[in-house]
Structure formats: C-alpha cells, structure tokens
Amino acid sequence: MKPRGHMGKTIRFESQADYQNFLRNFCSTHPLSKLHSTGQAIVNYAQAEYDFSSEIYALLKAKGLVEAGPLAQLPVLEDLHTITDPALTELDDSELNQVSRCFYESSSTFLTIYHRFMDEVVAPLVGEPIYFQKTPTVRFQFPNQKGYNWVERLHTDIMLGHPSEGYNIWVPLTTVFGTNSMLLVPVKESMTAYRSCNFDFEILAQRVQYDNDFIEDMRRSAAPVELAPGQFIAFDPRCLHGTQYNDTLLTRISIDARVLAVETYKNMKRQYRGTGRRQLPFVPGQYFDSDPVGCYLI
C-alpha cells in the first residue's frame, strides 16, 4: 500500500503506560465540547481592529509574490489567483503551494496584530491565560489548483503529536463556503471514527485514504465551515477536519493556530512532540510563544 496523506507520520508512544495516559486525556471531555455538543464555536470579532488583510497585501508585495501594480488594483483577496503566477499556486504532496510556504516567515507588524488577537479575543474565549502557537500558519487555497491528485486527508492534529487538551483556531480572511472552505466533523462523530479504528491513528490515516466506505461515512458527517471576514471558529482538536479541493471561483486565505491553557499545560502528565521533520515539542519557547497572553483573566 503506497503511503498517502498522513500515513507513516502518526504519533508513536514510548510505552503502554504512555499510551494509556494519552488515551485518558484523549477520551476526556474538552471544555468546548461541554459548552457545544459539536465541539465547535463560531465567534465574531472586530475585523477593523485586527487588520490581518492589509498586512497580507503588504507581505505579498514585500515577498515579490505578485507585481505591485496589479496588487494595488486588486479589489478583494478572493481574486488573488487572477494576478498570481500559476506556478506558485500548484500543490505539492503536502497540500501546500509556494505562496503558503513563503508565509512561514511573517512580519513584525503581522505578528503584533496576531499577538493582540490572541490576547484580546482568543484568551477570553478560553477564559484563562493561554500559550499560543508562536507563528501562525497562513494558507492560500487557490481555485482548481494543479500539481496534486487530490484525496481529502481528514485528520486530527492530535495524530501528528499535538495535545488533545488544546484548541484549534481557524480565522478566514476571505468569505469561506463550499469547497473553498475547511471540512469539519462534529466531535461525537469523530470519536465514533476513532473507536472504529481502535484509537490507532495509523489505521485512521490509511482508512481516510483507501477505505471508500469509511471516507463516504466521514463525508456524510462533515460539513464545510461557512464564515465571513470578522468571524472565526474554535474547535475541539479531536474534531476531524481537512482541506477540500477548491472548485469555486474564489481564493481562500486563512490563518490557523493552536492554543493551550496555561493551567492545563502545567498539569499535563506527558510531553507532546510533533511527528514532523523537526519533531518540535509543544512547550513554551518551542512550538508555543515563550510568554502567555490573557494574564489579566486570572
């Protein structure tokens, strides 16, 4: 069986005791799932006070990804594909294009806005101080991208080493709907899927790529997130989710990040580490910013 999606990249455990400790946390009720049966919450925020979009324009220009003249005339970011070199929009086997990769490095202005957003918007949602992803992921999902034979890789970040006690934060900077958005499965149906895989994430990674019946079951449970700029969604990280092949006529730009309550971090019984090339530990100063935000909530 040829490895596809996240196959071969899932979490491994040091011992049976480590696995049992992990499983206890994984099967505990997440705070979001106590408040919302789906494990998901849509939140409105003052878009003008956290103007990510203006900085996206500035970074596209500074990185030389599009020509300054056409960019200045671009009415909305949803039309970005009309002025972008098609070669920069092609997907690789990691579901990434060159534009998204170029945004791994951000600007001080963008990060200042992001830090304020985490402090003033996300921390109050959690209700206590939080550690937050040091550098957020900015994704550009262009219409009808070439370069990859698309198979939706529904997943949970937990299968890639992330803590199950965290929160996923997804902030679209464009209107999202249909296939230009993220598919999201409610937590109850996601947990049913994990049980059917005997909580083995490698089996899950295989089934979402090769088991057509399983894939269809998940698609019936999933729905695209529909949001406008000025809204974001926070969700229980156990909710299966994934990018779709964008066959709309509009570009989707979004920011995603993970946060973890400080008190939860202090009480964690195991250390989590990413399964990627860098195997980054989910600790302050590594994956998370060194300094928590929302300390005024104590």
Q: CA–CA separation, 137 vs 250, rounded Å?
A: 20
Q: CA–CA separation, 76 vs 40, rounded Å?
A: 28
What pLDDT, on a 0 to 100 scale, did the predictor assign at position 95?
Answer: 80
Q: CA–CA separation, 165 vs 26, rounded Å?
A: 8
Q: What distances in angstroms separate CA 23 from CA 19, 115, 164, 266, one per listed residue?
A: 6, 32, 9, 18
Structural domains in the chain?
A: 37-267 (2.60.120.620)
Longest Cα–Cα distance in the chain = 59
Beta bridge partners of 259: 132, 167
What pLDDT, on a 0 to 100 scale, did the predictor assign at position 207?
Answer: 97
What pLDDT, on a 0 to 100 scale, did the predictor assign at position 276?
Answer: 83
Give 158-176 as a DSSP string. Answer: GGGT--TTSEEEEEESS-B
What pLDDT, on a 0 to 100 scale, did the predictor assign at position 151?
Answer: 75
pLDDT in tens, the chain (298 residues): 888 889 999 999 999 999 999 999 999 999 999 989 999 999 999 999 999 999 999 999 999 999 999 999 999 999 999 999 999 999 987 788 999 999 999 999 999 999 999 999 999 999 999 999 999 999 999 999 998 777 788 999 999 999 999 999 999 999 999 999 999 999 999 999 999 999 999 999 999 999 999 999 999 999 999 999 999 999 999 999 999 999 999 999 999 999 999 999 999 989 999 998 788 999 999 999 999 999 999 8
What pLDDT, on a 0 to 100 scale, did the predictor assign at position 298?
Answer: 80
Q: CA–CA separation, 250 vs 79, rounded Å?
A: 6
Look up the pTM and report it: 0.96
Q: CA–CA separation, 267 vs 263, rounded Å?
A: 6
What pLDDT, on a 0 to 100 scale, did the predictor assign at position 9?
Answer: 94
